[in-house]
Amino acid sequence: MILLIVNQLSLLEGEYNVYRFAVWNGLARPAWSSALAYIIFSCATGYGGIINSFLSHYVFNVLRKFTFGMYLVHVGMILVIIGNSRQGLLFNNRQLLLYFGEMCACSLPFALLVHLTFEAPLSSLKDYTSKGQKVLADKTN
């Protein structure tokens, strides 16, 4: 993965070479996804080491709950925020960074609301019913 990032920076130096950029554009995304798949496979099979312990930290478990809620509500936020603009959109780095911050700031409270309204009660209901089935199965055996 680091090689992909370093190679991207080296493409910016020197003269433009069509074949070099064609190879880069053709192979960069499959190489990146293969590297991520290897990390996921290593962590799932117990060979992740320090990366697995870092990604299994409690902070990421808490963030997981909110990022899924943000994923669910962000499209609606985009439609509301962009749809209410009264002028044309500028697509430069600064403006996109501002839109990203605005989407995150607006999506987080709604994600918290989605989590507290739907995910947490249904998760506790699932835990309650699965414990009841386990107790019932133990009594019948």
Domain end marker among 51, 73, 92: 51
Regarding whether 30 and 62 lie in a shared domain, the answer is no
pTM for this model (two decimals): 0.56
- Please tell me the distance from the alpha carbon of residue 138 to that of residue 130, in angstroms, as a whole number: 12
Q: What is the pLDDT of residues 18-77, one digit of tens each?
A: 887 888 888 888 988 999 999 999 999 989 899 999 988 888 887 887 888 888 888 888
Place of tokens 């009841």: 132
DSSP, residue by residue, 108-126: HHHHHHHIIIIIHHHHHHH
Tell whether the model's pLDDT for residue 86 goes beyond 90: no
Angle, alpha carbons 2-55-30 (nearest 5°): 40
The residue segments making up the domain with residue 117 are: 57-140
| Single-letter code of the amino acid located at 73 | V
Same domain, residue pair 20 and 35: yes
If asked whether residues 17 and 81 sit together in one domain, one would say no
Stretch 112-140: mean pLDDT, rounded?
Answer: 75
Together in a domain, 76 and 127? yes
Q: For residue 45, what is the DSSP state?
A: T
Q: In the chain, how many domains are there?
A: 2
